[in-house]
């Protein structure tokens, strides 16, 4: 059973060892250096003690030329051992860096393909810990373990060869038998400790993720922490998480490093038994010393192989956490045989046919939605908070897939289209736009990465952003800071609008795009939007009713259903809910 379990564990790591292919020459050189190091350590040092020292310190002093030649063998062995050891470590670290790079890119790439519901189920701090910490742990397994699985067994074989050679020379095969019996005894604690270490490594990594989450949340909410005087609460929470992390880290350290002294104690009994046997047989110190040296060199790789086993166990815990991401299914997959939706031919008709949707089973957010939005129509979505307006809009670019029914764009089911092609036909201006920690130019280019500088400036002008951009220290080359913190809310909103102008997609979704603007700026943007929405299908998620004047039609949402549709005058006369919502805003 244990053999099958170990075999299964090794198989889990095999796909990641394939990452070494890109550095196979360097890794081969590292292994060759490891082989030389192993042979020089396991066999070379005991052989030197057996053959060189007797010549130097024998009864008959050697001639000066012989003494020089023989003593030169000592630094030659250590030089060979040192150079090969250095090259082995250096090249392994080089390969490890490349493997770490590949693993992190693989995990990050997978995260880019996962749908939004995956991020709703997992907090960002935990995902951050998996990408940074767990990939580093896996890198250690793939490189240093792969290396030691070659180097240490060779050192062990070399040492065992030296023991066998010296035992045959002494005609005392009991030494070989004793050594072979003690090695399995050394393996027993490796098994026991490894099992305990796996469990504690899982808990340590989970606590690391919790600490990262607390830190990430605190840095993101820095203004709120200060506004509500939460500094002491945050420090207390962080201190508690740090204490728990320390506790689990010490448990990992305990089980990671308890093997070496345990194996040394077991080995010491073997050495003591060898000394006792040699003394009882009258074997001289000169005769037994090389054998003791060889015995020591045979137990040293056993200790390191025990450490390798621990590293594999810790790597297994990291692998479990990484494969949670890598094995996550895309709940919004691209079709195997997609239909084509050429951007230049998109008319912009959007149709919902008996659509149902729920984020969680049994808790519907949209129920039996059937509506058609004609090409070029501007539709406002209004209703109380939580009525389903934003969810309705988010289903069009397939941020989520419907639970039942279907959504059509120009008569094609969106599930039959590639997500990239579908989303190229849609532009979104969110209520709270996210800017990247990059230049103003790069943030506008998000709308169309192939646009020229002239097109970028034109889009900024149409969004009434060019003037404030020109006043920035470096104009369009000014860094906006993390999440655009160096800009005001209105400035960020206008950059988001500039993206939409630059993208010029046939379907436009505005999630209260003017909510962060002052009255003067809002009026300018309203004029700009008049040009932006021309010849486009537009959905305006209206939280403030001042924005619905651009709309030719209004959809009223209540409890996940469209309960009324029409223009403002009609809904105000026929819908009590609409009239109440409208009057409440006019009074504020």
Residue 446: CB atoms within 10 Å: 18
Strand order in the sheet with 350-360: 363-373, 350-360, 404-409, 412-413
- φ, ψ dihedrals at 430, nearest 5°: -80, 165
pLDDT at 399: 92
Domains 15-326 and 344-587 share a fold: no
- 52's tokens: 């060189």
- φ, ψ dihedrals at 363, nearest 5°: -125, 80
- Pick 15-326's CATH classification: 3.40.190.10, 1.20.1560.10, 3.40.50.150, 3.55.40.20: 1.20.1560.10
β-strands 537-541, 378-382: how paired? parallel
- C-alpha 303/C-alpha 299 separation (Å) is 6
Enumerate the domain spans of the chain.
15-326, 344-587
- C-alpha 562/C-alpha 565 separation (Å) is 8
Beta bridge partners of 350: 373, 409
Q: Encode 522-547: b = buried (16+ Cβ within 10 Å), e = exposed.
A: beebbebbeebbeebbbbbbbbebbb
DSSP state of 458: H
pLDDT at 485: 82
- C-alpha 421/C-alpha 505 separation (Å) is 12
- CATH 3.20.20.70 is right for the domain spanning 344-587: no
- C-alpha 125/C-alpha 209 separation (Å) is 6
pLDDT at 439: 93
45-56 vs 285-326: helix axis angle to the nearest 10? 160
Mean pLDDT (10-residue bins), the chain, 588 residues: 47 70 86 78 63 65 69 75 83 80 86 87 84 79 65 69 66 55 64 70 79 79 74 86 84 71 70 69 65 65 70 78 87 89 86 94 91 93 90 94 94 93 91 87 92 93 89 92 82 88 91 65 70 84 76 91 91 88 75
The pTM (predicted TM-score) of the whole model is 0.72
| DSSP class per residue in 488-528 | -HHHHHHHHHHHHHHH--SEEEEESTTTTS-HHHHHHHHHH
């Amino acid at each position: 059973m244990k053999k099958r379990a170990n075999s299964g564990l090794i198989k889990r790591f095999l796909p990641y060892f394939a990452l070494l292919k890109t550095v196979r020459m360097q890794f081969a050189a590292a292994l060759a250096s490891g082989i030389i190091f192993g042979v020089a350590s396991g066999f070379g040092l005991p052989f030197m003690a057996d053959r060189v020292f007797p010549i130097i310190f024998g009864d008959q002093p050697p001639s000066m030329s012989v003494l020089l030649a023989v003593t030169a063998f000592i630094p030659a062995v250590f030089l060979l051992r040192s150079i090969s050891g250095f090259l082995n470590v250096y090249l392994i670290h080089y390969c490890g860096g490349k493997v770490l790079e590949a693993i992190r890119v693989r995990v990050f790439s997978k995260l880019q393909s996962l749908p939004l519901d995956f991020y709703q189920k997992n907090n960002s701090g935990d995902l951050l810990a998996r990408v940074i910490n767990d990939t580093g742990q896996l890198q250690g397994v793939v490189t240093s373990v792969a290396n030691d699985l070659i180097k240490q067994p060779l050192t062990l074989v070399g040492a065992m060869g030296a023991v066998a050679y010296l035992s045959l020379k002494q005609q005392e095969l009991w030494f070989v038998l004793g050594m072979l019996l003690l090695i399995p005894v050394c393996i027993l604690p490796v098994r026991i400790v490894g099992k305990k270490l796996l469990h504690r490594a899982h808990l340590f990594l989970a606590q690391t993720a919790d600490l990262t989450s607390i830190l990430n949340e605190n840095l993101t909410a820095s203004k709120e922490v200060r506004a509500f005087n939460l500094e002491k609460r945050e420090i207390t929470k962080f201190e508690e998480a740090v204490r728990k992390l320390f506790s689990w880290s010490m448990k990992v350290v305990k089980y990671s490093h308890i093997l070496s002294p345990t194996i040394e104690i077991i080995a010491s009994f073997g050495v003591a038994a060898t000394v006792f046997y040699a003394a009882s047989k009258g074997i001289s110190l000169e005769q037994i010393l090389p054998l003791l040296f060889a015995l020591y060199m045979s137990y040293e790789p056993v200790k390191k192989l025990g450490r390798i086993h621990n590293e594999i166990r810790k790597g297994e815990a990291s692998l479990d956490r990484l494969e949670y991401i890598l094995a996550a299914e895309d709940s919004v997959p691209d079709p195997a045989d997609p239909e084509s939706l050429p951007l230049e031919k998109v008319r912009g008709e959007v149709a919902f046919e008996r659509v149902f949707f729920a984020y969680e089973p049994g808790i519907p957010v949209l129920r039996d939605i059937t509506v058609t939005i004609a090409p070029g129509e501007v539709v406002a979505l209004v209703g109380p908070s939580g009525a389903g307006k934003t969810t309705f809009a988010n289903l069009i670019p397939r941020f989520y897939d419907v639970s039942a029914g279907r959504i059509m764009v120009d008569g094609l089911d969106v599930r039959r289209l590639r997500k990239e092609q579908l989303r190229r036909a849609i532009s979104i201006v969110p209520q709270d736009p996210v800017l990247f920690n990059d230049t103003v130019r790069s943030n506008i280019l998000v709308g169309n990465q192939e646009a020229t500088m002239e097109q970028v400036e034109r889009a900024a002008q149409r969004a009434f952003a060019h003037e404030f951009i020109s006043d920035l220290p470096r104009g369009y080359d000014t860094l906006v800071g993390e999440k655009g913190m160096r800009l005001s809310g209105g400035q960020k909103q206008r950059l988001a609008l500039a993206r939409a102008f630059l993208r010029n997609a046939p379907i436009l979704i505005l999630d209260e795009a003017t909510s962060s603007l002052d009255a003067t700026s809002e009026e300018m943007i309203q004029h700009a939007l008049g040009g932006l929405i021309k010849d486009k299908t537009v959905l305006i998620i209206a939280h403030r009713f001042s924005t619905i004047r651009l709309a030719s039609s209004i959809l009223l949402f209540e409890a996940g259903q469209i309960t009324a549709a029409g223009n403002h005058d009609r809904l105000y006369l026929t819908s009590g809910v609409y009239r109440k919502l409208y009057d409440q805003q006019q009074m504020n």
